[in-house]
Structure 1
Amino acid sequence: MSLEDVKAYFRPFNRDKDIIELQLSSATVDLAAEHLHVEPERIAKTLAFRGENKEGAMLVVTAGDARIDNKKFRKTFGFKAHMLSADETLDLVGHAIGGVCPFAVKHDWPVYMDESLKRFKTVFPACGSSNSAIELTIDELYSYGKGKAWVDVCKDWPEVEKEG
């Protein structure tokens, strides 16, 4: 049902028809990149964390090759990074692991976009299922994903300009 929610979310923007539905799973960065024929780093992965005071949730969208840096996360948000379990993610965010995205989220949780995404003109976030995606510019991702702020909470990605 989550894919249908995301389609409905994009309908007012006339972007619901731009959602790519794959025949095969795109539940991991590598699978998504392979099936979409793009570099893995251009897959925009959405990670769900326990919110401040261990209640609720928050989402961080990163480039496919970036990993959360616990020190940067703590410095930025003031608390330790605790990823939600698969059940918690589905319950609080409304999307199952492999399809988590910042669109049609179950509650109005804060969404942060990591600086690692700014290397690209376009990226491919999931759309609520383990076999869907949409190509968006960075500005569209921030806007449609209701970004609260740009943050620098990742490591292991090359800080060089790339075209996409």
Structure 2
Amino acid sequence: MSIEKVKAYFKSQGLEDSVLEFDVSSATVELAATALGCPPERIAKTLSFMVEEKPILIVAAGDTKIDNPKFKARFHTKAKMLSRDEVETLIGHGVGGVCPFAINDGVAVYLDVSLQRFETVFPACGSSNSAIELTVGDLEHYADAQGWVDVCKGWN
């Protein structure tokens, strides 16, 4: 199970007690914000795309949308999200629990600058009822991010 892989990853990092699990769904930004009692924008949603025949993840603030012209300028292709069926196979987590931790080899992770306005954010942990609170710097570290991108709109 995907959450078990994420828990094992965080245990190896000395953060085994940091993964939060809920009795309710956190599969969407709104549900996660309700489960955590935080504003939706502090949910670090993880979106999956195909770029040059390889899957990538963009982690962005919960109140954003992908800005297609910015995405195309950065990645030189149209933003094409993975289908529900492709996500688990290519990324290693199912829809509703996609996160940038314990993912399949070869999946590049990028963080959107929309996250930088927060001290801490809440990404999922591999299931539709989990999260972890991380500083933005820790998110960058534990996600092994390739860097910061500016591909979202609606937040500034």
Q: TM over 0.5, yes or no?
A: yes
Gaps of 5+ in 1: 159-164
1:137 aligns with 2:140: no
Determine the structure 1 residue equivalent to 2:12.
12
Q: Shift of the alpha carbon at 1:56? A: 2.4
CA distance in 2, matches of 1:16, 1:67: 32
Aligned to 2:113: 115
**Secondary structure in 2 aligned to 1:108?**
coil
CA contact (8 A) 2:51 2:75 kept: no
* Amino acid in structure 2 at the alignment position of 1:16: E
Q: Which moved more, 1:88-97 or 1:11-20?
A: 11-20
Pair 1:85 & 2:74 matched: no
Deviation beyond 4 Å, 4+ runs, structure 1? none
* Secondary structure, counterpart of 1:46 in structure 2: strand
Which structure 2 residues correspond to residues 40-79 of structure 1 after superposition, within 5 A? Answer: 40-52=40-52, 55-79=53-77
The percent identity for this pair of structures is 57
> What letter is aligned with 1:10?
F
RMSD in angstroms over aligned alpha carbons? 0.7
CA contact (8 A) 1:92 1:107 kept: no
| Preserved CA contact (<8 Å) 2:41 2:61 | yes
Select the residue among 99, 102, 123 that pairs with 2:100.
Answer: 102
TM-score (norm 1): 0.93
Residues in 2 aligned to 1:32 and 1:144: alpha-carbon distance in whole angstroms: 20
TM-score by length of 2: 0.98
Question: Could you say which residue in structure 1 is the equivalent of 2:26?
Answer: 26
Look up the SS of the partner of 2:58 in the other structure. strand
- Post-superposition Cα deviations, 1:119-138, rounded to whole Å, max 9, x if no partner, equal 00000000000000000000
SS in 1 for 2:77: coil
How many residues were matched structurally?
Answer: 156
Residue 12 (structure 1) shift: 1.6
